[in-house]
Chain A
């Protein structure tokens, strides 16, 4: 079993180097280099939370623009990813608030064809099961589990992103996992999960 202190997947060395460079130089060149690592992550963050592709790209651009503008305010490199996902989270909350207001005005708006297609393509068996299991968690637990295991933040980065004490972060993850432990089928263990789920579903 891996230590919980680590990230779920270690960051690539060239990504760390690009971040180091950008934090030192704050130049457009170093930003371009870092952009190719950060943009896919933040775009995935929005898409995984059900935001349509066009909006996800726009929100991801906003996040990266903010990073470029405000990097000077960040003193420690270790705080970067917590700070980065905090910006993404704020962008998403603001977007959702605007959407809710818009939906209230329009009363009801069906999913666009494009959004439906993306959703259909994205629905791998693994993630559709995961989404179903996540409905058993509270909103705060869902958010922390997504950030930890889908976006791969460490405990410290989570504390920074959510503005919570480290102990609360650990406790919330533990509780959420206790709930998931009761739901996740026993058979899922070693090989690629989506393959296993496909087989299990076929049976």
Chain B
């Protein structure tokens, strides 16, 4: 609190965000108080200085076009590399896992049921479709599949599927 004016009010006043009545109260005080007038003047000057600082900062550390392109190429190479690695490792691994679960399920309740259980689990999970099952939505898919499997194979079969799916 400075001369009966809260810091919150000063912040809003200097930001020009204060409502009219409160602003008029501060301005009336400023007309009488040299100390607060000086405070406001100094704050405005500091603000002006700092804003100019930002303008001049934009000219610091110049960057050549060539440097920009080299760095862009490096980032893109990393992006492509990451995408290739993800594709090479996770997609076949996911497909293999699904095939494995299908075989376990088929041994318990027949091939036709197993194929359909996997399809329904994928459709009703976050993946939305069999071919869209990925590492990110794997748990959602596995939960659905376990719940379907508990109907056909009982709790023990569902638990078995859950544990294999989690490996």
Residues of A within 8 A of B (CB): 1-5, 8-9, 28, 31-32, 35-36, 39-40, 43-44, 47-48, 57, 60-61, 64-65, 68-69, 122, 124, 126-127, 130, 145, 148-152, 170-171, 174, 177-178, 180-182, 184, 186, 188-189, 192-194
Contacts and interface: CB of A to CB of B under 8 A. Distances in A.
A182 B56 contact: no
A60 B79 contact: no
Contact of B75 (A1, A4, A35, A186): A35
Given A65-B75, A193-B52, A44 B10 contact: no
A139 B67 CA distance: 32
B80 to A, nearest CB: 8
Contacts of B15: 3-5, 170
B61 to A, nearest CB: 5
B58 interface: yes
Contact of B7 (A124, A174, A182): A174
B54 A32 contact: no
A64 B68 CA distance: 12
A189 to B, nearest CB: 7
A184 B60 contact: no
B14 interface: yes
Secondary structure type dominating chain A contacts = helix
Interface stretch (B37-45, B106-114, B146-154): B37-45
Contacts of B67: 57
A196 to B, nearest CB: 10
A64 B75 contact: yes
A65 B46 contact: no
Given A57-B71, A68-B75, A145-B50, A3 B45 contact: no
Interface in B24-50: 39, 42-50
A122 B46 contact: no
